[in-house]
A and B are shown apart, each in its own frame.
Chain A
Amino acid sequence: MSEKQKFKWHSWATPWILVFPTLIGLVIFRLIPIVSSFFLSFTKWNLITDPKFIGLKNFKELFSDPVFWKILGNTLKITAGYVTGGMIFGLLLALLVNNKLRGMNFFRAAIYMPVITSSVAVGIVWTRILGPKYGILDFFLKKIGITAPYWLQDPSLAIWTVTFVQVWKMSGYYMILFLAGLQAISKEVIEASVVDGATPTQRLFRVTIPMLAPTTFFVLTVAIMDAFKNFELIYAMTMGGPQNATNTLVYSVYLNAFSYNRVGYAESIAWVLMVVVGLLTVGNFFIKKYWAQPLE
């Protein structure tokens, strides 16, 4: 890069011209909305009249509302369940499809397929599969003598059902990410452990998984981001019900702003969401620092 000081191959304006569209998008569709969301959370607003500043009233109402705590709890439950489930299934699937087998490309592609289909269609077909009485799962469970619970109608179960469907949809993605990590582990290390007489179990827990740490960290980061992308699934499967059992921060922002016309209140929920995401990101950073090797 030192020659570049002497010889200029582009004018000072060139990088700005190239970055311009992205910069405009970043400012107008990301930064300004984030900042405005913050200020709007201190207002009472219905999108039509001017927003009215009401101080901390939204937050006061929010924190004294049991429904909010339930929704926050749901969000944390889904996030925890989704991240754990997605990572475990992703890793198991990656270990499976990392074997040499004829037609493996087909199996990988098939397992990845739910990732590319719309959450709405996925939500619909799973609602049908899990439906009471005429659902195919209940039918088979009954055959082996189990009376199936109401997967989506039982308030204590519905949230885990939705989490499961989200995990089902996305596991193929984490499988591919883990697979890339597995294939990047050098063959020599694995062979050395075989020569040293490590059993397959030892090899998995003492060699493969520790060497996968950077990938695991990356998957964790991605999975946390994805955990908040469940609006479509909830919309298609439960609409947040029954009795807010599957209502999450993400969904209630939509509900308050666009169904109840309580925009300021919705923004205060959005900012709680922002704080949750921020805390998870910071936590993630510490995991990276003290556990996973730095990536670059």
Chain B
Amino acid sequence: MVERRFSKILIIFFIILATFVSIFPFFWMLANSFMSEDQIFALPLKFWPDKLFKKGMWDNYREVFSNFSFALYTWNSFFVSFLAALGQIIVCPMAAFAFAKMRFHGRRAIYTLLLMTLMIPVQVIIIPEYYLMMKLGWLNSYLPLIIPSFLAGAFGTFMFISVFEAIPTALFDAAVIDGASAYKILWRVYFPQATASTATLFIIAFMNNWNDLLRPLLYIINPKLFTVTMGLTRFQNQYTTKWGLILTGSVISVLPLIVVYIFCQRYIIENQMSSGVKG
């Protein structure tokens, strides 16, 4: 009994330690955003932000928002990530339905190629992609950030295939007997059965686009079109040691995602778990 209690205390200790290590950097980011430059470069270190709940608490935020268009960048990121994610939740179920329910020539070949592209690092394809975007005259627009992830969402397709395959065939048979068209079966019968997966895919695609750096870095030159992640790197290069400001920018860039995450973490984690079992 004593031994069991001891091991339980040990488990709790390690869980709390792991949680602390995982979220401390975010607290530190937040704490630093309420610190003055004097405090950041003071020794011995002070941990309690000197400006918190005092006059000038929002100084860093004010400076960041006025010198750098972080509000605009955040909006830009929302816009791009929303459209890219929206595209994926339309295109992926379509392809997945065809793969899961229909037999057609080349099905296996396309499926295999799609699976293989999951393994390939983006750097292998980025140069020809850049050239293509240049020739299309899409540089300095959001199209290169949206269209590739819109059309080539292999991950989402595989996710929907496994969801669609798990839907009871009785439902499918009933719809076919009723004479529903394939599109009707997809959008009226199958798609509504996959609400949780749709939400998860939307969030994951949204986050991936929000956090992406390489494509904005290559394709966006006009500062008015910067995404928040890219804006943050520009900001960092300009203010190399102004940690208060840089970390305030970081807070602004991660906060929207963390808020979304807090509300949706159940979905995301459950979905990741089911995809893991499937393999």
Residues from chain A with Cβ under 8 Å of B114 in the complex? 22, 26
9 cross-chain pairs, A with B, having the tightest CB-CB distances, nearest first: A25-B151, A25-B152, A33-B125, A33-B128, A118-B211, A180-B273, A180-B276, A177-B276, A10-B182
Assembled-state Cα–Cα distance A215/B274 (Å): 12
Contact B104 A113 (CB under 8 A): no
Against A, the Cβ 8 Å flags (1 = close, 0 = not) of B238-279 are: 000001001100100110011001100110110011101101
Q: Any chain B CB within 8 A of the CB of A134?
A: yes
Q: Any chain B CB within 8 A of the CB of A236?
A: yes
Assembled-state Cα–Cα distance A22/B87 (Å): 11
Q: Any chain A CB within 8 A of the CB of B65?
A: no
A178-230 residues at the B interface, CB under 8 angstroms: 178-181, 183-184, 214-215, 217-219, 225, 228-229
Q: Which residues of B contact A (CB under 8 A)?
A: 11-12, 14-16, 18-19, 21-23, 25-26, 28-29, 32, 40-41, 43-45, 91-92, 94-95, 97-99, 102-104, 107, 110, 113-114, 117-121, 123-132, 134, 147-148, 150-154, 157, 176, 181-183, 185-186, 207, 210-211, 213-214, 217-218, 229, 232-233, 236, 243, 246-247, 250, 253-254, 257-258, 261-262, 265-266, 268-269, 272-274, 276-277, 279
Q: Any chain B CB within 8 A of the CB of A52?
A: no
Contact B124 A37 (CB under 8 A): yes
Q: Which residues of A contact B (CB under 8 A)?
A: 1, 4, 7, 9-10, 12, 14-16, 18-19, 21-26, 28-34, 36-37, 40, 47, 93, 96-97, 99, 101, 105, 107-114, 116-122, 124-126, 128-129, 133-134, 136, 139, 168, 172-173, 176-181, 183-184, 214-215, 217-219, 225, 228-229, 231-232, 235-236, 249-250, 253-254, 257-258, 263, 266-267, 270-271, 273-274, 277, 281, 295-296
Q: A30-B152, A128-B32 are in contact. Are A119 and B22 (CB under 8 A)?
A: no
Contact B25 A126 (CB under 8 A): yes
Assembled-state Cα–Cα distance A24/B132 (Å): 14
9 example contacts (A-B, Cβ-Cβ < 8 A) are as follows A34-B125, A36-B128, A107-B16, A121-B254, A125-B26, A179-B273, A180-B276, A219-B276, A228-B121
Assembled-state Cα–Cα distance A28/B232 (Å): 31
Contact A113 B26 (CB under 8 A): yes
Contact A96 B18 (CB under 8 A): yes
Contact A9 B176 (CB under 8 A): yes
Assembled-state Cα–Cα distance A258/B133 (Å): 15
Residues from chain A with Cβ under 8 Å of B233 in the complex? 120, 235-236
Contact A19 B18 (CB under 8 A): no
